[in-house]
Amino acid sequence: MPTLKDLKTRITSVKSTRKITLAMKMVAAAKLRRAQEQAEAARPYAERMDRMLGSLAAAAAGRPGAPAMLAGTGKDDVHLLIVATADRGLCGGFNTSIVRASRAHIRALRDQGKTVKILCVGKKGNDQLRREYRNSIIDVVNDIGKPSLTFADAGDVADKITRMYDAGEFDICTIVYNRFQSAMTQVVTQQQLIPFAPPEAKEGEEAAGADRLYEYEPEESEILDALLPRNISVQVYRALLENAASEQGARMTAMDSATRNAGDMIDSLSIQYNRARQAAITKELIEIISGAEAL
């Protein structure tokens, strides 16, 4: 049986924990709104990029001499996995779910005898993968997008990828991140960046896009050469934005339930405290009364 004083200290400590989680929840909610706005604002560019590249790629894919980024290297021996996580924890299963998906992916590839290289974006992914795959992690990008993610940040990551691809260091590149669905749900997503996989054309849209003959200024191949690396930046940017929004959403949900749990705990501790106090009072009364009766 804990003493009254013990109970009191516990209640105070849980109370201050609740204050912290509540504050974190509110901060996450504010940041989530901003991250969501940013993600939504970036969508038109990515959509139009997809549309433009989709029609270009469809035309160029079959032809010989198509850029390597579109056609691939013709092998699939070396895979580059970009693991995009958060820099900070305390956001529920956000980081763990990405890492778990990455692990499964790596294991599957290794079973097929492929080489896997890992590029970690965000501290937490590196922390969790380091023990198992120390030798596979080729690079770590930390503190990206502070205070807020800009296109240039994503461009730096994309540059790294492009340079490595041009140097022939890998054949296929996949990014793993959390797609934002709502503050409650984030979906772990794997997306292939290189070689470029054209988005599935929607019904009806296809007729408008594919049949149209464009004039190219300058040459088609030159535009494609410029457009493909650009597309990598856009995809990375989009993934990182989605990830940032997901992180805040996950944190908000996690902190919300932490706050609620702390409240429940305070309630039950208070009942325990009151009972103990009442018991002590009763005991004292009994002692006084029985003392008086003895006289």
Residues assigned a catalytic role? 91
CB 174 within 8 A of CB 105: yes
The nearest distance, CB 48 to another protein, in angstroms, is 5
The nearest distance, CB 163 to another protein, in angstroms, is 8
Nearer to another protein by C-beta: 186 or 233?
233
The nearest distance, CB 33 to another protein, in angstroms, is 16
**Segment contacting another protein (CB under 8 A): 47-55, 79-87, 122-130, 182-190?**
47-55
CA distance 83 to 157: 12
CA distance 247 to 31: 10
**Segment contacting another protein (CB under 8 A): 12-20, 83-91, 171-179, 209-217?**
209-217
Number of residues forming the site for another protein (CB under 8 A): 28
Q: Is 77 helix (H, G, I), strand (E, B) or coil?
A: coil
Q: Rule CB under 8 A: is residue 63 a binding residue for another protein?
A: no
CB 94 within 8 A of CB 247: yes
The nearest distance, CB 215 to another protein, in angstroms, is 5
- Token pair recorded at residue 100: 């778990």
Per CB under 8 A, the list member of 32, 42, 120, 252 interacting with another protein is 42
Q: Is 149 helix (H, G, I), strand (E, B) or coil?
A: coil
Inter-helix orientation angle 123-133/94-111, to 10°: 40
Per CB under 8 A, the list member of 113, 204, 218, 291 interacting with another protein is 218
Q: Rule CB under 8 A: is residue 66 a binding residue for another protein?
A: no
- Token pair recorded at residue 85: 């996580």
The footprint of another protein on residues 141-170 (CB under 8 A) is: 150-151
Per CB under 8 A, the list member of 14, 56, 70, 188 interacting with another protein is 56
Nearer to another protein by C-beta: 138 or 223?
223
Tell the burial category of 89 from Cβ atoms under 10 Å away from its Cβ (0-12, 13-18, 19+): middle
- Note the maximum CA span of the chain: 114
> What order of strands is seen across the sheet that includes strand 186-194?
137-141, 115-121, 78-84, 172-180, 186-194
CA distance 23 to 35: 18
The nearest distance, CB 12 to another protein, in angstroms, is 46
Positions that interact with another protein (CB under 8 A): 38, 41-42, 44-45, 48-49, 51-52, 56, 150-151, 212-218, 220, 222-223, 226-227, 230, 233-234, 237
